[in-house]
Structure 1
């Protein structure tokens, strides 16, 4: 697998071109290459500030956003590594609260790429080594690091001693990688997903999880036990629930009444709860209830149920709310269905050919006034006819989002969804670069 990125800075672009030329050898799984690369760089993964390590199918990015916001509200200096980027590669590496600058990024990528040419690393291995290297060189109170894909073989899993680990909600996604046939692993798909994610567990580091079905919970518990990681499970060791205009978090240490997250959607209460539980089950970085409340109010996470500002794209749909979401799997579709319950929407969607074309359409079926299909920029995408079996509405094709917005039927708000690649293009065109 590899990703794609461009930059207006020619020095950065030269390194991104080198990244884009990397390939992952077919059938190669494991941490050997990232381990070898880290060794050549002096093992920066062993010199990181305390790490909050977060995996999951849906919600891990939002959980990281809540963690960073709450820690920063307490006054801590925080590095953060999230993925994928939406518009600029710089978004993957946040140094002491600020996205890495172009000059520093160009030098960093050149240093890592020069060190590993003969190792045949992947895009993600180079990216991970780069963030380890720069995080290890710059003082901070903590790092918030999001797992990229799975957990067991994700390049971030060479972190030897995280402060605390978390697993967000689980669902079926990235089947070709996470459900590939293998002996000695769970056969049931969701249990296998849980196994892969739980393998970020490390000795002595609390592993904080959401509540999962019994078969999945048993697998996660077994992995945590084998790793020697204390396991803290929602509904047993901690819990969270919406209570009117706020949320209530509880664990064995007590109960907290806090404001609802600023991020829209009922599912964000779940993600905020996981972040709170991770903070509460580590003792190195105390965070007050006041800082937790401020972090919940201030957290931002672009392209996740984001209402777009006024800009060149939204000007094509005057008087309407235009929402953007990068969700692309059934769990994300279910969250969208809950959020837009009772509303009538025009859906503009572009989805990678590797994803389930019903994932977004089916949960929104009775809420849609029209369906428009656009390409997913730079990637092979589903054709309009792939979506037709899942809706009774005509499925119209457009060359791009601007064309689809300009041709909207009268009245009704708009949801643009189906791919984070599409979401990044929308943010770029509407001049809302993530910062």
Structure 2
């Protein structure tokens, strides 16, 4: 006799607590378990799919694609991770966060289908998102790879188009400790006879070789497509189909133009099935905004939020900060990271473009301790440049009190660092004069 099913959660909070308890590990590489449950759910993926992988820039790339296709009038689903404030941010339907009832129904469907198969938190979330998308009349779905590519849960879908934004060192305990090892994993999202794009101007040989082994006709930034700038700083996109004039981006940083170039190539490559006008391309691209990607959250003094959490992202952040501090303004950092990230590497890249580091712990099991953060900073930063606080809002309050109107306060180091600031209200950190 079968044992009765346990009573299932009825709220999103209840479900999230439940799925956290399902698997002893937060990450387990492999597709067999996810594929088995997807088969039980009879997922058919009846829409065009674009999969986006890479070390950094995935969220921005997904947001650009989502905005362009929405501007063109298509029904769009988008799955990204992690979230900043609420889980529902991970699943968007036609630009709106997934509703609680739909999300709970999706978790329920996956739970009933999995039976005795153990799934991680991310795997449950991915299958729930895919199930939710299939309940909607969508034209296109954009999926962000969570970790790596080849063995990531998102890779159960044979995408019509796959983009690898760039390859650098991150998640080395799972993907390998060199760009070559990581590049092989990232290339696993490519499929033969489907659109394959690489936005890294110097991709690892392993990525190129794996794409060749798969029989992929890989399209590369700087080889098959590019963006140039005129003396008036007007952007011009070029590929085999011709030239497209583009305005400005709301997203800050040169690397966002690289992401935009890959997006433009993808949309133009899929024109036969999902036609988009040049005006919709321009309008969607230039209107895209993304929370936490060098996002101006407050002005005068400027408070900027950036989820940069690895050396590749730190180098991009450095370039942005050098541009902003050219007027002699000071830069304050509200900083914290997870213990399994390359904290010393990030500090080494940024130590000389930040005038004061204000650190505090992240509220997360993998958070780096204040003592460890101090030890990493002490190798590059003078003692008087380092301040310790009880929590991240307190660190922001301290910086705000000291900052002049033209100074910059950059909040960075982790999605969790940015989330801790997004969750507070202005009266919790803006002190009266």
TM-score by length of 2: 0.88
- 1: CA distance between counterparts of 2:348 and 2:108? 45
Aligned mate of 1:201, from 190, 194, 210: 190
SS at match of 1:232: strand
Match of 1:306? 295
Superposed, 1:111-260 pairs within 5 Å as 111-160=109-158, 162-179=159-176, 189-213=178-202, 216=204, 218-243=205-230, 244-260=232-248
Match of 2:421? 426
- 1: CA distance between counterparts of 2:291 and 2:348? 24
- 1: CA distance between counterparts of 2:353 and 2:108? 49
Q: In the alignment, is residue 397 of structure 1 matched against residue 388 of structure 2?
A: yes
SS at match of 1:208: strand
Shift of residue 430 of structure 1?
3.8
Match of 2:275? 286
- Greater shift after overlay, 321-330 or 396-405? 396-405
Shift of residue 117 of structure 1?
4.4
Q: Is the 8 A contact 1:38 1:129 kept in 2?
A: yes
Shift of residue 390 of structure 1?
2.4
Q: How many residues align?
A: 402
- Greater shift after overlay, 227-236 or 165-174? 227-236
Q: Is the 8 A contact 1:74 1:287 kept in 2?
A: yes
Aligned mate of 1:335, from 299, 316, 325: 316
Match of 1:413? 408
SS at match of 2:193: coil
Deviation digits for residues 28-69 of structure 1, max 9, x if unmatched?
532101011111211x1x323100111000111111111111
- 2: CA distance between counterparts of 1:142 and 1:27? 28
Instruction: Show structure 2 runs of 5+ residues with no match.
Output: 1-8, 427-433
Superposed, 1:100-111 pairs within 5 Å as 100-111=98-109
Distance change >3 Å, CA 37–CA 239, structure 1 → 2: same
Q: Is the 8 A contact 2:26 2:121 kept in 1?
A: no
Distance change >3 Å, CA 254–CA 340, structure 1 → 2: same
Match of 1:375? 361
Shift of residue 309 of structure 1?
4.2
Q: Is the 8 A contact 1:79 1:140 kept in 2?
A: yes
Aligned mate of 2:254, from 266, 281, 287: 266
TM-score by length of 1: 0.88
Q: In the alignment, is residue 362 of structure 1 matched against residue 357 of structure 2?
A: no
Distance change >3 Å, CA 11–CA 211, structure 1 → 2: closer
Shift of residue 115 of structure 1?
2.5
SS at match of 1:124: helix
- 1: CA distance between counterparts of 2:296 and 2:152? 32
Aligned-pair Cα RMSD in Å: 2.0
Match of 1:98? 96
Deviation digits for residues 372-423 of structure 1, max 9, x if unmatched?
1111122322422332212235322111122112223342220010000121
Match of 2:429? none
SS at match of 2:59: helix
Shift of residue 362 of structure 1?
2.8
Shift of residue 212 of structure 1?
4.1
Q: Is the 8 A contact 2:298 2:304 kept in 1?
A: no
- 1: CA distance between counterparts of 2:64 and 2:27? 35
Match of 2:15? 15
- Greater shift after overlay, 405-414 or 255-264? 405-414
Superposed, 1:71-82 pairs within 5 Å as 71-82=69-80
- 1: CA distance between counterparts of 2:358 and 2:21? 33
